[in-house]
Amino acid sequence: MSDRRIIPLPGGRALLAENGPMRMVIQAWEGPAPRLDLATEAADYAFACLARVARQLAVLKRRPGAIDRLPSEPLARAMIASVRAVGDADLTPLAAVAGTLADAVADRLFEQGLSRVIVDNGGDIAIRLAAGETTRVGLRPEIAHPEISHVLTLDGRHSTWGVATSGLGGRSFTCGLASAVTAVGPSASLADAAATAVANACLAAGADVLRVPAAKLDPNTDIPDLLVTVAVGDLTGAQRAEALSNALQMAEGLTQKGVIRGALAAVGKQVGWTADLPDRVAGLAALV
């Protein structure tokens, strides 16, 4: 925790530079006026939140079924609650860590009366909007490539939003074939866990996939025994369609339960989304 770099940026932004696993960009506005001062203060708060979570690692590296007593730390409890809500038995609460930290920082700023807050924690984004405010989020069909295929417009019909992406080429492990799954939820914590679970469900029979135990890639991982995808061979059109269908089926179930507000999934250039995602947000537009 010694590397505490906070870099002020124009436009009401503060960059919380790399500190181990965390790289966070914080943006804050009061009406049309950027509030760099509050964004910078929130970056300091983010370091404190990270330290609080780090003290709970022994519990947070367990799967939810093995946690018989909830910790007193609110951030740890939020992570556990999000993973339990998603219901993927392979996830530990660390599947929601980036989103939970983004939520904590965004809530702190929004509670100070700001009208628009965006906290991007390495691609897991917490958004807070007052009535009348909007923001747009670009979506990638492949995490490993910068091209944006769709733009999601969010508005103040909900004051809290979370947008998180998981899949091959991301910073977290996946068991599936998705090149990207973006979940949109009422919080970044829930979206973070849901994106991981939906990406894990993106599977197809007979696909040429190389998987290894996660511990071979990271000896400190929270899922050492889980087989994770490291390479995918050529997929047939039917396999891509099957994988996409399986991912969206899980996403639809989470949407119906109210865990998320919808999701977009991609297997290469083949993209689909949950049925009512466009109705739950201000707009979902494909770029042409």
pLDDT tens for each residue of 100-154? 999 999 999 999 999 999 999 999 999 999 999 999 999 999 998 888 999 999 9
Q: How many CB atoms lie within 10 A of CB 4?
A: 11
Cβ atoms of 246 and 198 within 8 Å: the answer is no
Ranges of H-type helices in the chain:
36-54, 57-60, 74-86, 97-110, 188-200, 214-217, 237-256, 277-280
Contact 188, 128 (CB under 8 A): no
Beta bridge partners of 264: 182, 273
The mean per-residue pLDDT over the stretch 12-35 comes to 78
| Sequence ranges of the domains in the chain | 6-286
d(CA 120, CA 248): 25
Contact present, 60 and 66 (Cβ < 8 Å): no
What does the pLDDT read at residue 264? 96
Strand, helix or coil for residue 70: coil
Q: Does domain 6-286 have CATH number 3.10.520.10?
A: yes
Take residue 201 and report the two structure tokens written for it. 């469900």
Distance CA(97)–CA(22), nearest Å, equals 10
CA–CA separation, 170 and 143 (whole Å): 6
Calpha distance 60→107 (Å, rounded): 22
As a whole number, the mean pLDDT across the chain is 92
Pick the more confident residue, 122 or 9.
122
Alpha-helical segments (H) within 14-73? 36-54, 57-60
List strands edge to edge, sheet with 283-286: 134-139, 150-155, 283-286
Q: Quick one: what percent of the chain has pLDDT higher than 90?
A: 81
Cα separation, 135 vs 44, in Å, equals 25
Note the pLDDT tens digit of each residue in 178-217.
999 999 999 999 999 999 999 999 999 999 999 999 999 9
Q: How many angstroms separate the CA atoms of 67 and 94, rounded?
A: 13
Contact 59, 67 (CB under 8 A): yes
Report CA-CA distances (Å) from 197 to 8, 12, 241.
35, 34, 18
Q: Would you place residue 33 in the very low, low, confident or very high pLDDT band (cuts 50, 70, 90)? A: very high
